[in-house]
Structure 1
Amino acid sequence: MNDVKPIRIFMTGVGGQGTLTATTLLARTVLAAGLPVTSGEIHGMAQRGGVVESTVLIGCKSPKIGHGEADILMGFEPMETVRALPYLKRGGLVLSSTEFMPPLSVAMGKQQCPTLDEIKARVADCTDRAYFMACQTIGIEVGAVQSGNIALLGALCATGALPFGPEALEATIRANLPAKIQAVNLKALELGIKALNA
């Protein structure tokens, strides 16, 4: 157990997207692989539209992630990806949705929303290891918009950055999700892997 390379994963999104479900599924996948894991919600309430931040730490002694410590940043909403960039280690891995769910301040015109190109440029300043995909579109395509998060998780598992592949996440989905939503999420997983390799 002591030779597990520590991996710090910072996940961020907007309430109502299923960020915490994605966090729980990833943590359970790590556990099923026999690896030490700590996970938690560190900020925000999972109310619709609120910012949600959570962590999954594999083989780490400390239960939290400070600025510049995350090996992997998963942004389920592009503005939240940019907001969480300070946590990313230089040259770390970023996986982000390309589709906006603007916070209330933007929706009310009190704040400007950066363009996707601006967001990609900000990410590129921190790392050249970044993948972007249309998570909500994938979710809608499979039948549940929240399943877009599973697509992003599937893509992460397919990058080779974790000590297991997508088949481990597939087994967790089969073991933990209700039968009626398994098929939708398994299809999202498959499309996420395809989007990564597209």
Structure 2
Amino acid sequence: MQRARIFLPGVGGQGTLTATTLLARTALDAGLPVTSGEIHGMAQRGGVVESTLLIGGYKSAVIAPGEADTLLGFELLETLRALPMLRRGGRVVGNAEALQPVGVCLGRECYPPLEAVLETARGYAAGVTMVPAISLAEKAGTAKAANMVLLGAAAACGALPFDLDALARSVEKYLKPKIVALNRKALELGAAAAQAGQAA
């Protein structure tokens, strides 16, 4: 049985929890047992949101520091902050574009440049894939589909225990019909970007 511990950091309004739910349903449809949880959730726009997804028979939804197989980062600064959750040799798939958190907007924190995040991430991970999720989502039809861009990228680089086709089936099965086409397009654009090795 394939097993995976996925840690998903982001900020409210990015669809982090929607993505977690879709991944969980995709795993269940593949016959894989799933445990998921929201670790810290101020899900209003701008608040930090972290969720976990454990696939393959784990009893707890908790991922301790150094345990995550995959870090699926929806926001650049939150990806950087979450790197200690990753196991050595794990994989990072993240959004290369900034969506500044509250602390940065208020001037309490500085925003890291992409290159600094990449350099740090490479110190933790065996593989790092960063895609311009917001820009690609806008190409698909709406910036709100950035979460699907990331899922497509993660599937394309082997960071999930199922493939892009399984995700596409879940989009068709579980999302509202009127948004299926653009979300499928977002998956495809994310996958293509990951395969092309885009870093920004």
TM range (shorter): over 0.9
Instruction: Tell me the distance in 2 between the aligned counterparts of 1:112 and 1:122.
Output: 16
2:61 aligns with 63
Give me the whole-angstrom Cα distance separating, in 2, the residues matched to 1:125 and 1:164: 26
Q: In 1, Cα distance between the equivalents of 2:45 and 2:138?
A: 18
For the residue of structure 2 that corresponds to 1:56, the secondary structure is strand
Partner of 1:138: 136
After TM superposition, give the deviation of residue 158 of structure 1 in Å.
Answer: 1.7
Amino acid at match of 1:144: T
- How many Å separate the matches in 2 of 1:109 and 1:161? 35
Aligned pairs for 1:7-22 (under 5 A) are: 7-22=4-19
Question: Quick one: which amino acid aligns to residue 22 of structure 2?
Answer: L
Aligned-residue offset at 1:162 = 2.9
Q: Per the alignment, in what secondary structure is the counterpart of residue 128 of structure 1?
A: strand
Work out whether residues 2 and 161 of structure 2, in 8 Å CA contact, stay in contact via their aligned partners in 1: no
Superimposed CA distance per residue, residues 72-105 of structure 1 (whole angstroms, 9 cap, x where no aligned partner): 0000111000111111001101001011111122
Q: Shift of the alpha carbon at 1:163?
A: 2.9
2:149 aligns with 151
Q: Deviations over 1:42-84 (max 9, x none)?
A: 1122100001000110012332100000000000111000111
* Pairing partner for 1:24 from 21, 30, 45: 21
> Deviation at 1:142?
1.2
- 1:85 alignment partner, one of 78, 83, 86: 83
**Alignment partner of 2:47 out of 47, 50, 55:** 50
Q: Which residue of 2 aligns with 1:38?
A: 35
Runs of 4 or more off by more than 6 Å in structure 1? none
Question: Is 1:176 aligned to 2:171, yes or no?
Answer: no
TM-superposed CA distance for 1:114, in Å, is 1.1
Structure 2: segments with no counterpart, 5+ residues: none
Could you tell me how far apart the structure 1 residues matched to 2:3 and 2:169 are? 23
Matches within 5 A, 1:91-102: 91-102=89-100
AA paired with 1:13? Answer: G
**What is the distance in 2 between the residues matched to 1:64 and 1:36?**
15
Per mean C-alpha deviation after superposition, the further-off stretch among 104-113 and 26-35 is 104-113
Inter-CA distance 66–144: structure 2 relative to 1 (3 Å threshold): same
- Superposition RMSD on alpha carbons, in Å? 1.1
- Give, as a single letter, the amino acid of the residue that structure 1 aligns with 2:131: M
Identity %: 52
Q: What is the distance in 2 between the residues matched to 1:44 and 1:11?
A: 12
TM-score using structure 1 length: 0.95
Alignment of 1:84-123 (within 5 A): 84-123=82-121
- Listed as ranges, the gaps of 5+ residues in structure 1 are none
Mean Cα deviation higher: 54-63 or 181-190:
54-63
Q: By how many angstroms is 1:161 displaced? A: 3.5
| Count of residues paired in the alignment | 195
